[in-house]
Amino acid sequence: MASFQYSGVRDGKACSGTIEAPDRRQAITLLAGQGVQLQEIEEKADGGGGAGSGLSLRLGGAKKIKPRDITILTRQLATLLEAGFPLARALEFVSRQESTGPMSEMVADLSASIQQGQDFSQALSEYPKYFGNIFLSMVRAGETGGILDAMLVRLAEMREADEALADRFKSAMTYPAMMMGAMVIALGVMFAYVVPQFATMFEDMGRALPGPTQILLNVGDFAATWWPAVVAGVVVAGAGFKAWVKTESGAFQWDRTRLEMPVLGNFMAQFAIARLARTAGTLLESGVNLIDAFASAGDVSGNRYISHIMQRALADVRHGKPLAESLADAPVIPSLLREMIALGEESGQVGPMMKRVAEVYDRQTRETVSGITSIIEPFMVLFMGGVVGMVVIALLLPIFEMSTGGV
């Protein structure tokens, strides 16, 4: 009996531990039966460098596989299956296209498993870090219904849309971060090299300095004396914050706080609702029941507060209450989502309705990114110019006063 260490999510909460099973596949099956959505599993090494250590080494290499690589693989397989390739041949073809590395090894392993008679979903379950429950459920539904190619197309479209959404979010955040970095560097150079030279000159003048100049020099003296402590404080605070947001309560509170931020909070809510609606719509159209579809969609929304709200609403649904009614008083959940769910429940078309909601919020995120960029760009330029300008004025003010006094 082997021991396996695992980490994953159960009932919306992070979990980890050790389980004993004859082999890795049985361990995954047992954990799935316990409701664990696996993120990672590896056999505990016995200290002798046997099978356990070999498996751990392989999984360590596979960590280099990026989510976009999985999306590309899904799209490639969908295209090949639609063209009439058998699954084993499609995997073999993709494996030959890959260069050496963890991705090539994984695809080759999947191909070998299919040739040995395994179902595709079963072979994919050997890599829970890259193929989660949603992916496996849709592949399993495609195998059962004989529409694996259509399911892979849906998965590829869903992942591509999510990645495009994430890219828009990153683009909205990149420019402000770069501008802030540039401002910090500019101020650092001024306080490290320019301000000390002016301070020496002002001391030689022996005159009383204007208030703004004195404040600037005091700030410069403080920065020169205490900058190691300031840097250490920032590092410690950052590390503490990072550790806090990794806890269950910290992640929940931070996700809730992010949604309440001015401007950015609205964008983050749109981002999360778009992912939730797209995932729910895709799962519902793939034959997954409403409760499981929205539970999984809440988990992948990227926001634990929204996931919590959805889980709470689904608890009412299990007691016979319509989902739209359960979300009636839920904070953050927009009225459009509730109304579209209500229409879908009345017509039996919740899946297509969720796809439409996702399209609406995709469009809104694009517009929000454009709006944020158009607002932040001039604001950051003015802010940087104002800060640097005040520093320059504070440095030159004594010279102006001396010149005026000498006239």
Helix (H, G, I), strand (E, B) or coil at 22: coil
Say what angle helices 148-189 and 350-406 make with each other, to 10 degrees.
Answer: 10
Q: How many residues are present in the chain?
A: 407
Query: Rounded to 5 degrees, what are φ and ψ at 146?
Result: 70, 25
Q: Which two tokens stand for residue 285?
A: 């159209």
Instruction: Give the separation between CA 372 and CA 22, rounded to whole angstroms.
Output: 54
Return the bridge partners of 138, or none: none
What sections of 126-147 are H helices per DSSP?
133-145
Return the bridge partners of 287, or none: none
**What is the mean pLDDT for each group of 10 consecutive residues in the chain (407 residues)?**
76 76 70 69 58 35 73 91 89 76 85 89 89 85 85 89 81 79 82 79 75 84 81 93 90 90 83 89 87 88 90 92 90 90 92 92 83 78 85 82 62
Instruction: Give the separation between CA 301 and CA 153, rounded to whole angstroms.
Output: 21
Helix (H, G, I), strand (E, B) or coil at 21: strand
Superfamily of domain 164-407: Type II secretion system (T2SS), domain F (1.20.81.30)
User: b/e for 39-68, b at 16 or more Cβ within 10 A?
Assistant: bbbbbebeeeeeebbebeeebeebeebeee
For residue 321, what pLDDT is reported?
92
Q: Read off the amino acid at residue 300.
A: V
User: b/e for 304-332, b at 16 or more Cβ within 10 A?
Assistant: bbbbbbbeebbeebeeeebbbebbeebeb
Helix (H, G, I), strand (E, B) or coil at 370: helix
Whether 2-62 shares its CATH topology with 164-407 is answered no
Edge-first strand order for the sheet with 13-21 is 13-21, 2-10, 37-43
Largest CA distance in the chain: 97
Instruction: Give the separation between CA 180 and CA 183, rounded to whole angstroms.
Output: 5
For residue 279, what pLDDT is reported?
87
Q: How far is CA 4 from the centre of its chain?
A: 27
CATH fold, domain 2-62, is Ubiquitin-like (UB roll) (3.10.20)
DSSP H/E element including 39? strand 37-43
Q: Read off the amino acid at residue 151.
A: M
From the number of C-beta atoms within 10 Å of its C-beta (0-12, 13-18, 19+), residue 102 rates as: middle
CATH architecture for segment(s) 67-158: Up-down Bundle (1.20)
**Side-chain half-sphere CA neighbours of 83 within 13 A:** 10
Instruction: Give the separation between CA 314 and CA 330, rounded to whole angstroms.
Output: 12
Whole-prediction pTM value? 0.63
For residue 331, what pLDDT is reported?
84
Q: Which two tokens stand for residue 355?
A: 């796809």
For residue 323, what pLDDT is reported?
94
Helix (H, G, I), strand (E, B) or coil at 301: coil
Helix (H, G, I), strand (E, B) or coil at 262: coil
Helix (H, G, I), strand (E, B) or coil at 302: coil
For residue 98, what pLDDT is reported?
66
Instruction: Give the separation between CA 333 and CA 258, rounded to whole angstroms.
Output: 15
Extents of the domains making up the chain: 2-62, 67-158, 164-407
Helix (H, G, I), strand (E, B) or coil at 245: helix
CB contact at 8 A, 295 and 10: no
Please, which residues have CB within 8 angstroms of residue 61's CB and are 6 or more apart in sequence? 101, 102, 105
For residue 74, what pLDDT is reported?
92
Instruction: Give the separation between CA 26 and CA 31, rounded to whole angstroms.
Output: 9
